[in-house]
Structure 1
Amino acid sequence: MKIYFAAPMFAESERLYNEMLVANIRQVLPELQIYLPQENGAINDKMAYANSVMIAEADTKEVLNSDLMIAVLDGVSIDAGVASEIGVAYAKNIPVIGLYTDSRQQGGEHPDKLAALTEIGENQFHYLNLYTTGLIKLNGVIVSSKEALISEISKRL
């Protein structure tokens, strides 16, 4: 199975997280072929040069050659590149497993957190773009942990 790993990758923390997570998946499920865009130096070595067309062609080719996409949804908002990749996957009926680990989603039934929703500026939860998450849910699932991600991948093997 070929997997496209869509994730933000410009901060060192993002790159390290992606490397750690992909290494863990590769260790647990060695039969998978995982494309991690940051490993493609031809377009993502930021000391070199790749224009927008080169990046779009290279990554779209990899999305279209994949059987499954993993999309990291964490951050202030869903990364613009990740959202674009999700759109390509949806258009080509490639299932997506969204990984959303934001701790603010916890405590969803806490009465004080729910009451705070009515107060301006007191939302205790994080917002994800509903169009993008809807595209994922139409042909995939969103999970909230590395363990759930690996379990979901395993189900699809």
Structure 2
Amino acid sequence: MKIYFAGPMFAKADLLYNEYMVKKIRELDDSIEVYLPQENGAINDKTAYADSKMIALADTEKVLESDLLIAILDGITIDAGVASEIGVAYAKNIPMIALYTDTRQQGFDNQKKLAALGDTAENQFHYLNLYTVGLVKLNGTVVSSEHEFLDLIKEQLNK
């Protein structure tokens, strides 16, 4: 199975988290091939040069070759590159699983947090772009735990 890993990759924390998750995914089964864009030095060695067309062509080719796109939705907003990769996968009907671990989603039934939604600038929850989330959900699912994320990837292996 070929998996495309879509995740933010410009902060050291993002790079380390991506490596951690890809290691976990690769440990699931020897038949899994994960494309992690940050491992593609031809376009993502930030000390070298790759123009926008080179990056778009290389990553789009890998999305289109994949059997499954997995995406990390965490961050202030969904990473623009991740959103683009989700759009390509949706257009080509490639199944998707997204991980969204933002802790602000906890307490969704807390009445004080819900009441605060009516008070300007007191949203206790994090917002994700609903168009991008909708593309994932139309062709897959969004989960909030790494355990569930890895379990769903295992399920895809058995299809």
TM-score normalised by L of structure 2: 0.97
Matched to 2:148, the amino acid is: A
- State the match for 2:140 in structure 1: 140
Corresponding residue SS for 1:142: strand
What does 1:2-17 correspond to in 2, within 5 Å?
Answer: 2-17=2-17
Partner of 1:150: 150
Structure 2 unmatched ranges of 5 or more: none
Partner of 1:28: 28
Runs of 4+ in structure 1 deviating by more than 4 angstroms, as ranges, are none
Cα deviation, 1:10-51, whole Å, max 9, x if unaligned, reads 111100000011111111333211000000000000000000
Aligned residue for 2:84?
84
TM-score by length of 1: 0.98
The 5 A counterparts of 1:105-124 are 105-124=105-124
Indicate the RMSD between aligned Cα atoms, in angstroms.
Answer: 0.7
Q: How many residues align?
A: 157
Q: Note the residue ranges of structure 1 that are not aligned, 5 or more in a row.
A: none
**Rounded Cα–Cα distance in structure 2 between residues aligned with 1:145 and 1:55:** 30
Counterpart residue type for residue 146 of structure 2: K
Counterpart code for 2:11? A
Moved more, 97-106 or 19-28: 19-28
Post-superposition offset of 1:155: 1.2
The residue type paired with residue 60 of structure 1 is T
CA distance in 1, matches of 2:16, 2:97: 20
Could you say what secondary structure the match of 1:156 adopts?
helix
Could you report, residue by residue, the CA deviation over 1:68-125 in whole angstroms, capped at 9, with x for unpaired residues?
0011000000000000000000000001111100000111001111111111111000
Q: Which amino acid aligns with 1:109?
A: D
Distance 1:148 1:30 in 2: 20
CA distance in 1, matches of 2:107, 2:156: 29
Whole-angstrom CA distance in 1 between matches of 2:46 and 2:154 = 34
